Amino acid sequence: MQDLLYFFQQLINGLTIGSAYALIAIGYTMVYGIIGMINFAHGEVYMIGAYTALIAITGLTAFGIAWLPLVLIVALICAVIVSSSMGWAVERVAYRPVRGRHRLIPLISAIGMSIFLQNYVHLAQGSRNIGFPALMDGGFQFGSADSFQMSLSYMQITIFITTLICMTLLSLFISRSRIGRACRAVSQDLRMANLLGIDTNRIISATFVIGASLAAVAGLLLGMYYGSVDPLFGFIAGLKAFTAAVLGGIGSIPGAMLGGLILGVAESMTSGYLSGEYKDVVSFSLLILILLFKPTGLLGKPEVEKI
Amino acid sequence: MLILEDVHTHYGKIEALHGVSVEVNKGEIVSLIGANGAGKTTLLMTVCGTPQASAGRVLLEGRDITHEATSNIMRSGIAIVPEGRRVFPGLTVEENLHMGGFFNTKAEIRKSQDHVYELFPRLKEREQQRAGTMSGGEQQMLAIGRALMSKPRMIILDEPSLGLAPIIIQQIFEIIGQLREEGITVFLVEQNAHQALSLADRGYVLETGRIRLHDTGTNLLANPEVREAYLGG
């Protein structure tokens, strides 16, 4: 019984962190799907989302506004607005001017953008980590008090529900809406979409903005979950989410969701049964294994095309 | 309808079109024939705005579109069926059609869609199928249907018969004839010179980036030079 509870505890922890990874991974996978390149500044966009949320929360608290749903929604909106403008700017500054050149060039300019954003936050907010106020304490406890107690915190529930809502909205948007259809068309044949009169630059911007918005949501959630942020907050999370995207099949949105969850659970199981020190080893080993044995990822498919 | 005046087009430093002048009048079918590498596709793409002409002018219904963005040009009553069809493989037939009518209202889309299904009943049967899983002929029908969705006044077809079975080619050319009946101007690029010229009001022969001959379709078919080079003697 105890062992089972312990297992479920690891599972819950893993799914929590995994759903946040999935939210970030969507940004990598969508941008890759459309322009065939990795947005290396995406982790920073996520980090900036977390900082913005923290600033908004601090600001509201200073004005004496403490009603939790309001604080969260305002923080969320601020984070989404700032991060998505940042995502838009990354595309305009680091990708659009060098699009169509050698593939290494946008890669390098994106890394430059990432270094710039990281250092900007270093200067503006200081290098030390800043605590997130604990807004959401408590949770449900399972099991007897004298042995192992499994806990499911309100924060974890919030992360699950928010992720679920975001993913549902995104799936509906991509599969049903006019712009979503255009996103898919552009990712399959950008030139042809352009020949149908579609302003492909706007669709590309839209993908960066959507990815950045989801990263901002993840930034708020994980900032609150971990309880602090620092300028390197986006670095490891970005790498993990990138791993998740590749694991699920880069370019595939369901793949990014699945990859995030698998990675999260793998990490928490490693921490729970082996040692926390090994969790990064396990995630990146997974990345190497998938690249060796199934380079298209779990749900990624090679293009179906008939000539 | 469409006028190219002394158009030069470059790919980097290489000039692919050396001063080409072509005119397509309203309601006509005009065919452009030429060998591989003559610059046929380049000419069409110059009309569409990528690459843009480095010299000369392109006029569409009297408007100078030489330096306009592709997305703007393609929203001005002109549609293209590109070489290799280029349907969106992961989108269903219906979604592909909707992409063609992207800038129209829902009611207009419905109407155009019904019209396309009338022309190609096969597409109706395959409505929910992914375009990438269809045969080459069906994909060509879809590419033509997609182009018609925007209710263009002019349609450009780049090698619509390429790689298709003779019976499908016949069908495609019948449809092209039908487009003229509907008042759509057709600019057709083909290697299949015989069929392209039989159908055309006028034709142009492009050779290494220059217009070599220009005449009515019938005259070109009878022209010994054309017979020799493009119709197998």
Distances (CA, A) of B96 to A193, A207, B147, B163, B176: 10, 20, 10, 21, 20
Contact B90 A188 (CB under 8 A): yes
Task: Please name the residue that has the structure tokens 């375009």.
Answer: B131
Domain that holds residue B125: 83-152
Task: Tell me the C-alpha to C-alpha distance, in Å, between residue B209 and each of A245, B45, B158.
Answer: 46, 13, 16
- Does the beta carbon of A307 lie under 8 angstroms from any beta carbon of chain B? yes
Indicate the residue type of B6. Answer: D
Q: Tell if the CB–CB gap between B91 and A182 is shorter than 8 Å.
A: no
At B29, the amino acid letter reads I
Distance from the Cα of B33 to chain A's closest Cα (Å) equals 22
Task: Please indicate if any CB of chain B lies within 8 Å of the CB of A196.
Answer: yes
The answer to whether residue A73 neighbours chain B at the CB level (below 8 Å) is: no
Do B112 and B14 share a structural domain?
no
The reply to whether residue A188 touches residue B88, judged by beta carbons under 8 angstroms, is yes
Both B218 and B166 in one domain: the answer is yes
Q: Are residues B227 and B163 both part of a single domain?
A: yes
Q: What is the value of pTM for the model shown? A: 0.90
Q: What is the CA radius of gyration of chain A?
A: 20
CB contact under 8 Å between A195 and B89, yes or no, is no
Distance (Å, rounded) from C-alpha A79 to C-alpha A218? 10
Average confidence score pLDDT of chain B = 93
How many domains are contained in chain B?
2
For the stretch B198-228, pLDDT in tens is 999 999 999 999 999 999 999 999 998 888 8
B186/B93 same-domain check: no
- Determine the Cα–Cα distance for residues B109 and A280; give it in Å rounded to an integer: 51
- The answer, for A48 touching chain B at a CB cutoff of 8 Å, is no
Over residues B46-56, mean pLDDT: 93
List the single residue in B with minimal CA-CA distance to A199: B71
Q: Are residues B16 and B127 in the same domain?
A: no
Residues B42 and B90 in one domain: no
The per-residue pLDDT string of chain A (307 residues; one tens digit each, 9 = 90 and over) reads: 788 889 999 999 999 999 999 999 999 999 999 988 899 999 999 999 999 999 999 999 999 888 899 999 999 999 999 999 999 999 999 999 998 888 889 989 999 999 999 999 999 999 898 999 888 888 898 877 777 888 999 999 999 999 999 999 999 999 999 999 999 999 999 999 999 999 999 999 999 999 999 999 999 999 999 999 999 999 999 999 999 999 999 988 999 999 999 999 999 999 999 998 999 999 999 999 999 999 899 988 765 443 3
Residues B16 and B71 in one domain: yes
Cis status, amide bond into B51, omega within 30 of 0: yes
Question: Is-contact B11 B54, C-beta < 8 A?
Answer: no
Q: How far is A300 from chain B (nearest CA, A)?
A: 13
Q: Do A305 and B135 touch (CB under 8 A)?
A: no
Write the residue in A178, A194, A307 that is nearest to B70 by C-beta. Answer: A194
Task: Determine whether the interchain pair A191/B134 forms a contact, defined as Cβ–Cβ distance below 8 Å.
Answer: no
B66 lies in the same domain as B2:
yes
Task: Check which CATH number belongs to the domain holding B46 and give it.
Answer: 3.40.50.300
Write out pLDDT tens, residues B112-125: 999 999 999 999 99
Pairing of strands B185-190, B29-34: parallel
Cα distance between residue B31 and residue B201, in whole Å = 8
* Nearest neighbour of B90 by CB, restricted to A178, A184, A306: A184
CA dist B77 and A298 (Å) reads 43
Q: Residue B209 carries which DSSP code?
A: T
Pick from B48, B102, B130: CB nearest A182: B102
d(CA B83, CA B167): 19
Q: Are residues B43 and B140 in the same domain?
A: no
pLDDT above 90: residue B66:
yes
Structural domains for chain A: 2-126+154-293 (1.10.3470)
What was the pLDDT predicted at A304?
A: 45
pLDDT value, residue A302: 64
Are B46 and B93 within one domain? no
Other beta carbons less than 10 A from residue B105's beta carbon: 9
| pLDDT value for A306 | 38
Q: Return the pLDDT at A305.
A: 41
Closest CA to B127 of B114, B140, B137, B136: B114
| Contacts A–B by Cβ distance under 8 A | 79
Look at residues B133, B152, B171 and tell me which one is the last residue of a structural domain: B152
Task: Choose, out of B45, B97, B99, B130, the residue to mutate when testing the contact with A (most A CBs < 10 Å).
Answer: B99
Question: In the prediction, which pLDDT does B233 show?
Answer: 60
User: What are the pLDDT digits (tens) for B19-50?
Assistant: 999 999 999 999 999 988 899 999 999 999 99
Judged by a CB distance cut-off of 8 A, whether residue A197 touches chain B is yes
The total of other beta-carbon atoms located within 10 Å of residue B61's CB is 14
Query: Smallest Cα–Cα separation from A127: which of A119, A116, A138?
Result: A119
Asked if residue B166 and residue B73 are part of one domain, the reply reads: yes
Neighbours of B6 (CB within 10 A): 13
Domain boundary among B152, B168, B192: B152
Chain B residues with CB under 8 Å of a chain A CB are 48, 50, 69-75, 79-80, 82, 84, 86, 88-91, 95, 98-100, 102-103, 130, 132-136, 139, 146, 150, 163
Residue where the block lists tokens 């080409």 = B20
User: In whole angstroms, what separates CA A197 from the centre of its chain?
Assistant: 32
Same domain, B61 and B164: yes
Chain A nearest CA to B20, separation (Å): 22
Residue recorded with tokens 């050396």: B18
